[in-house]
Amino acid sequence: MNLRSLRCFLAVAEELHFGRAAKRLAISQPPLTQHIKNLEAEVGAALFHRTKRSVRLTSAGTALLDEARRLVVQADGLRHIVQQAHEGRSGYLRAGFITSSVFTEIRKLYSKISRGVPGVTVMWQEMSSSEQIEALHEDKLDIAILHMPAPHADLVAHTIVREPMVMALSDVHRLAGRRDVRLQDFAGDDFVLTLRHMSPIFYDSIIAACRAAGISPTIPPHQARNLLTILSLVSVGAGVSVVPRTLAAAGFPGVVFKRLRGQAPINEVSVVWRADNRSPVLARALQALGLAPS
């Protein structure tokens, strides 16, 4: 039983005239008649009483009518769903983000993505930068917002933020009253950083800047998974840290932020996606961000 035959049956059942039904379907009458004969053979019953003057539904035809309408409507709905998905107008977008970004100007990207793909469910997942890279490689994410990764041949990265970092210290720290500071001023302090494997490029840029300033930072055992945990530790005097400048704009209780004199480490945040991801939903999200998929 195919949809074409059911559409032919519905046209005849509603018009009660083969000529008008054929015109409605934009086909000639012989193939319409053949569709009806094939359908009757398939169901094993006559569907119409035919005379030279009239066409009427049989009891079998009456029984089929409502079900045929339901099946055709359902099929049309499925076609619409598939077409919407094909055009990226329905479905899911799996998006990763780093915790600190929701407290900075980067958060505007989230609303751009969500508003830019109406009809699509955006599945936001908080993950570290390294976790997002792994998830992209394993096709568990469509798009990622993370600290600038090392180059990967299979990934496309577009830098959205590039800014100098600042020092974060407790509001009772000995240098809390200074307008700006130097990295070497903290030679005797513990540096609270994220675990290196969570964001290697971010971590290494801070260590490199410290060494360039002539200090070897002391890394205490209490390291953190994200920048918000770092600020919590800094606020209770567990150490100092180097954090993105945009995070300073959001503020944090018990923490003061100081501009670094000299060569400050640079924070880069990127939007990253797989080069071979041909998802129409991803294409719409990138379009909403003003990025063209490569």
DSSP state letter for 278:
-
User: Whole-prediction pTM value?
Assistant: 0.68
Q: How confident is the model at residue 112 (pLDDT cuts 50, 70, 90)?
A: confident
pLDDT-derived band of residue 281, with 50, 70 and 90 as boundaries? Answer: confident
Q: Where does 3-86 sit in CATH, by number?
A: 1.10.10.10
Q: What does the pLDDT average to over 76-98?
A: 72
What is the chain's mean pLDDT, rounded?
88
Q: What is the CATH number of domain 91-159+269-288?
A: 3.40.190.10
**Portion of the chain with pLDDT greater than 70, in percent:** 94
Q: Average of pLDDT values for 119-144?
A: 91
As a whole number of angstroms, the distance between CA 21 and CA 98 comes to 60
- Token pair for 220: 């205490």
Look at residue 80 and tell me whether its pLDDT is greater than 70.
Answer: no
Average pLDDT over residues 55-61: 92
Specify the pLDDT at position 120: 84
Name the 3-class secondary structure at 225. Answer: coil
Every domain of the chain and the residues it spans: 3-86, 91-159+269-288, 164-266
Residue 115 pLDDT: 78
Of 189 and 152, the structure prediction assigns the larger pLDDT to: 189
pLDDT on residue 85? 61
- Residue 52 has a pLDDT of 83
pLDDT digits (tens, 9 = 90+) for 188-234: 999 999 888 888 888 999 999 999 999 999 999 888 888 889 999 99
∠61-73-67 over CA atoms, to 5°?
30
Q: Rounded to an integer, what distance in angstroms lies between the CA atom of residue 294 and that of residue 274?
A: 10
Q: How much is the CA Rg of the chain, to the nearest whole Å?
A: 32
Place of tokens 């210290």: 169
* Structure confidence at residue 53 (pLDDT): 85
pLDDT in tens, 6-50: 889 899 999 999 999 999 999 999 999 999 999 999 999 999 999
Residues 6+ apart with CB under 8 A from 165: 206, 242, 243, 244, 245, 260, 264, 265, 266, 267
* Statement: 164-266 belongs to CATH 3.40.50.720: no
Predicted pLDDT of residue 105: 63
- Over range 65-76, report the average pLDDT: 86
At residue 193, the pLDDT reads 94
Same fold, 3-86 and 91-159+269-288: no
CA 4 to CA 261: how far, in whole Å?
A: 75
Out of 73-82, 107-116, 243-252, 257-266, the most confident range is: 257-266
CA dihedral sign of residues 176, 162, 136, 273: positive
